[in-house]
Amino acid sequence: MHIGVLGTGTVGRTLAQALVDRGHEVRMGARVAGNEKAVEWAGAGGPLASEGSFADAAAFAELVINATAGAASLEALEMAGAEQLAGKVLIDVANPLDMSKGMPPTLTVCNDDSLGESIQRAFADVRVVKTLNTVTASVMVAPQLVPGQHTIFVCGDDDVAKATARRLLEEFGWPSEAILDLGDITAARGVEMYLALWLRLWGATGSGVLNIGVRTPES
């Protein structure tokens, strides 16, 4: 697939490389083409890797990944351009963290709304799937780093888009039974607000390479 990864941070570079390693053509996007981190990644990433602006990456892509700072994601997606994103699956891995008052961060949107929903509202014909935001970058693409059975959540309004996201998760090594569909995009509230707990789990265990597993008597 042609995949546009919006974001040059740890998550963008980790996902972009994992996708290239699995044979996808990836264009990494930044506010401006020629971003230092994106150029470095594309230079080392091989023939399937390229870089450009958010708009370049979105135009190139069949599927887009939002790996931008959550507080700025709407701005970044505006720069990508509604016409470039229209009709496409957008995998949103961002968390709307507000670091302006230091640690721990708060959320710029929560309770009865979420970043995932805000994106879906602002770009009504984009097929938004929220996933992977509940694990650190290395675990996103290598779930086996966390031993045992553990869970990755997906949510979104479009079932076909969620099936596409599920296939990518499986390419990253998430077993089918680890992928838990929480329903429509309003479930993004829960997985984004989980960040408050994730940060405390990180502090309590001393490791960001962690995840939770959901169990029922049937599972």
Ligand X SMILES: NC(=O)c1ccc[n+]([C@@H]2O[C@H](COP(=O)([O-])OP(=O)(O)OC[C@H]3O[C@@H](n4cnc5c(N)ncnc54)[C@H](OP(=O)(O)O)[C@@H]3O)[C@@H](O)[C@H]2O)c1
Backbone angles phi, psi at 111, to 5 degrees: 65, -85
Phi–psi pair at 103, nearest 5 degrees: -95, 150
As a whole number of angstroms, the distance between CA 111 and CA 40 comes to 39
- Of 95 and 118, the one with the shorter C-beta distance to ligand X is 95
Question: Between residue 117 and residue 136, which ones bind ligand X under the rule CB under 6 A?
Answer: 133, 136
Q: Tokens 């879906």 identify what position?
A: 120
> Residue 12, interface with ligand X (CB under 6 A)?
yes
- Those residues with Cβ within 8 angstroms of residue 19's Cβ, 6 or more apart along the chain or in another chain: 3, 5, 26, 168
| Selected range binding ligand X among 29-37, 55-63, 174-182, 184-192, rule: CB under 6 A | 29-37
Q: For residue 209, which amino acid is it? A: V
d(CA 19, CA 115): 24
In the block, which residue shows the tokens 């935001």? Answer: 133
Q: Does 69 bind ligand X (CB under 6 A)?
A: yes
Q: Which stretch binds ligand X (CB under 6 A): 43-51, 72-80, 123-131, 176-184?
A: 72-80
Q: Which residues contact 81 (CB under 8 A, 6 or more apart)?
A: 54, 55, 58, 59
Task: State which residue, 70 or 156, has the beta carbon closest to ligand X.
Answer: 70
Residue located via tokens 């086996």: 144
Q: Is 64 in the site for ligand X (CB under 6 A)?
A: no
Range 161-200, binding ligand X (CB under 6 A): none
For ligand X, the nearest residue by Cβ is 9
Stretch of residues binding ligand X (CB under 6 A), selected from 62-70, 117-125, 145-153, 185-193: 62-70
Site string for ligand X, 73-112 (x = CB under 6 A): --xx----------------xxx-x---------------
d(CA 74, CA 55): 13
**By C-beta, is 89 or 116 nearer to ligand X?**
116
Judged by the rule CB under 6 A, the positions of this chain that interact with ligand X are: 7-12, 30-31, 35, 67-70, 72, 75-76, 93-95, 97, 133, 136-137
